[in-house]
Structure 1
Amino acid sequence: MILDGVADSALGVALDVVATAAHFTQSGRAPLPHGGKALLQRVVSLDGEPVRSAAGRSVAVDGAFSPRALREGDVVLLPGVFSAGARTVEKLLAREDARRAAELLAKAASKDVTLAASCSATFVLAASGVLDGRSATTSWWLAPEFARRFPKVSLSAERMVVDEGSIITAGAALAHVDLTLTIVARMIGPSLPHLVTRYLVLDERSSQARYMVHEHLRASDPAVLAIERFVAENVERQLSLKELARAAQVSSRTLARRVRTSLGMTPLEFVHRLRVRRAIHLLETTRYAIEDIAARVGYADAAAFRRVFRRYTGESPRQLREPGG
């Protein structure tokens, strides 16, 4: 299902990935699993009328979206709409078509289908209520806004794709590639996405962390900026919540509230993110051993560092340093 302003790249790459996967199954290079259905895709809008893409192009559709027409095993995929920040997200969610889409997605959730969304479309999916109590991801620069709007959703902003079974979310625009490949893997099998990625010369990624520009996650709250500076200056040692509050010149409770309001996380989660971000920099710019990097970003136990790193990036330090290796 597509909305006005749909990202041209997200729509195009989804069509290409599914069409390529369908070609391989039809040609016998990737046989369908026993009882599996052929890959068929339809582009639909809310009313069956063409929509205008983010680049201003008219996009023809195959019909109107109807939850009643869904069948067991179907996938409803909502590509992102161009969104540069919180203000454009606010405009998107205020649109009548976005509100209607959220209502229809909530109805579709009662069917035995999979719902999927990427980039700013994750906000529409979250607005439907189907993500409450679940994990999700979104575009990394929209993460603080997502966390503020949807506190009932457990946000993993560094993850490229979060698969919650009946609901799958993906991050920034081209993470739609990873989202579509995840769907193909579920419907046909894990070998087909690898064949598609080789054919289309796509890289396989599990994390947005290496693409994150930390300045986009900064808040204007002086307390948040103060602890950011404090952690940067003391990244090699253990830090307590009391120390962080003292550095911010507020109480521990006030600090927790202000960090939650600004960033949608706890102060200690923020510390972990800052440390992981520093570790990513060291992994990409040095040849330090992973154990050495762990110590340099405040983790005495390299195993604990690896667990935290995977939690916040979705991959191991070695995978990030040597992608595909």
Structure 2
Amino acid sequence: MKKLLEKITSVALAVVSILFIALVWVVMFKPAIAADFNTSLVKAFVIILSSAFLILSGLNIYSSFVDNERLSDVLLFKDRESATKATVGVVKKTAKRITKNMEEAKIRKVTLYSDASGNISMNVEVKVRSDKTMDVITNVRALLIETFDEIFGIEFSAINFRVITSKNKFVPNDADVKAKVEALKATIVSNKPAPGKVQTSKVTGHIEEKVEEVEAADIAKETEESSEEIPEETPAEQAQEIISEENDWEDKIIEEKAEEVAAEEKQTVEEITEDTTVEESKAAEEVTEDTTVEENNAAEEVTEDTTVEESKAAESVSEEAIEKETDALPETTSEEEKKEDEIK
């Protein structure tokens, strides 16, 4: 079907394109003849050709992008000398026959498709008369697989079902409905703030995440309690409980957000304090280093001055001692000479 559609659209587009080209050539190279084209008949002809061209172009694009192709027959088996095929009608009748004796399901329409790789898929429209739709569809699928494998030796790449009618009788009891209603009410969050409480922009910034966490915990708690017997309460009491729960949630959210803001402010203050302490310690170290350097320089200068003065004093003392010794030497020599003269 797909290939036939492509052939038809290709030939029709070629014919329309040739007519348009001929019309353009006449208008360009034969202006005298083109003047006679200004009639309602020619205009209608051009409009029809344009519409046909647009429709054929759309069909051609659609057929190019369609992956599946409807089949007219299905190959059962083949060898070098022969091939055996079954028509689509035979496959459809076999599929519908399977559910004739079933009360829960009836097959109404069967369509076969083939992709580019040659894999065959089956689309089935079925009517279901049961509350267990999944069990019925699974049963029909198993019947189709076993039947076509045994009779024709066909294995479909996919069997897709579409339920067009469902006749069911299931009605939940009142207790289950009430339990579900209470669980759903617990998940509803009112946008109205509690009396005397105003939500700031900081709190409302991440309020949804906190609400989801609180809701998850409360839902888990309510599901555990729902398995037990639920006492009957008046609507006024239920509404009062829901309002109080919502107020408790909002209080929890505001408190948690306030704690987060306080923790952030504390962390900021600690960071500022640490930065100030580091700067003060660096400044104290620099001042201490400068003071130590100045003291060392002063001590070195004092030591140098003291050493110079001591060396000068020592030199002057030594010079005086030498002068005294030189003065004392002539006196001793004169006394010795006198003794020698007396001896003589």
TM-score by length of 1: 0.26
Q: 1 or 2, which has the higher helix percentage? A: 2
Larger radius of gyration: 2
TM-score by length of 2: 0.25
Which fold has the larger relative contact order, with Cα–Cα distance below 8 Å and residues 6 or more apart in sequence? 1
